Amino acid sequence: MLPLTPEQRAASWGNRSLQRLEGVGAFVRCLMPVSLSGGGSVTYSVWLRVDDDQLREANRVWTTDEYQDLILYGTVANTVKPWEGLLGESARTEVRDTETLPYLVAAEGSLLSRILSEPWDRDDVLSRIAHGLPVPVRQQITDIWSVERTAGLAPRVRDGVTRFIGPGRTVQIEAFDHPAGTTPAEAIARMTEGSPRQRSGELTEHDGNLTRHAFWLTVTANDRQQHELYGYAATANHIVCTTCVYDDPADLEWAQQVWRSARTTPTS
């Protein structure tokens, strides 16, 4: 139902929890809690496809005392990353709290059973969520590079460029290979050729096999000042370029944190 036009959606019946559209199906919104490594959890709102009789029964009892005994049987109607194959999994529901949506219950031995019972890598799960989160998460940019996406920023990828976007803050990240025999310092020097010489400050740091360099400045854009940090991290074969644009000059410390967070990871 997601790609339907407003006119097509207007032909559907339902609300935030119950939906039906002729030719598409009937759906009930449910909860799918997932445990994360290191403690904590994230709970997804997932649609369960049911038949029309079950949808009518759910609608009948939804706001009554009978809701606590509601059990539905159907199939998962969403894809949820990173779990390939979840769409179409058989499931039932149970009401654990009459003030909340019903919870998904999985068939034994199914993928959904694993999702609901096992802890999952925190960063792998949270980095797939395309909304700003209240916590930082390490975002995989390429097979080689990952960068911390700080709280409140939503990820966007377009034409091979990753962006983190939020109020007053934007991060743009691009990764490149450089020719064999080029040192990290030489790779950074090539990337910064032609960059502004008038800068508010700059730093060069060494972190294991990484060489890092950053400079920052203030520019006027559309009759207002904005602050920019251009950061680089390079190894013997690879370089990642991180640009942070921010409204508040006090966010320089945040921009440096993002720049320093770039690190290499083993190729999966």
Cα separation, 164 vs 147, in Å, equals 10
User: pLDDT band at 175, cuts 50/70/90?
Assistant: very high
pLDDT tens figures, 106-151: 999 999 999 999 999 999 999 999 999 999 999 999 999 999 999 9
Give me 66's structure tokens. Answer: 């009978």
- What is the per-residue pLDDT for 268? 37
The strand pairing partners of 245, in sequence order, are 170, 228
Residue 42 Cα distances to 33, 36, 120, 126, 158, angstroms: 6, 7, 10, 8, 27
Give me 172's structure tokens. Answer: 């743009």
Q: pTM for this one?
A: 0.87
Q: Residues 64-72: contacts with CB within 8 Å, 24+ apart?
A: 65/98, 67/95, 67/98, 68/95, 68/98, 69/95, 70/95, 70/102, 72/28, 72/48, 72/102
Domains, in order of start, for the chain:
6-117 (no CATH), 132-264 (3.40.1000.10)
pLDDT tens figures, 5-60: 888 878 889 999 999 998 889 999 999 999 999 999 999 999 999 999 999 999 99
pLDDT tens figures, 226-264: 999 999 999 989 999 999 999 999 999 999 999 999 999
Is residue 193 scored above 70 in pLDDT? yes
User: pLDDT band at 4, cuts 50/70/90?
Assistant: confident
Mean pLDDT (the chain) is 94
- What is the per-residue pLDDT for 165? 98
Preceding peptide of 82 cis, ω within 30°: yes
**Residue percentage of the chain with pLDDT more than 70:** 99
10 Å CB burial of residue 48 (0-12, 13-18, 19+) is buried
- What is the per-residue pLDDT for 266? 64
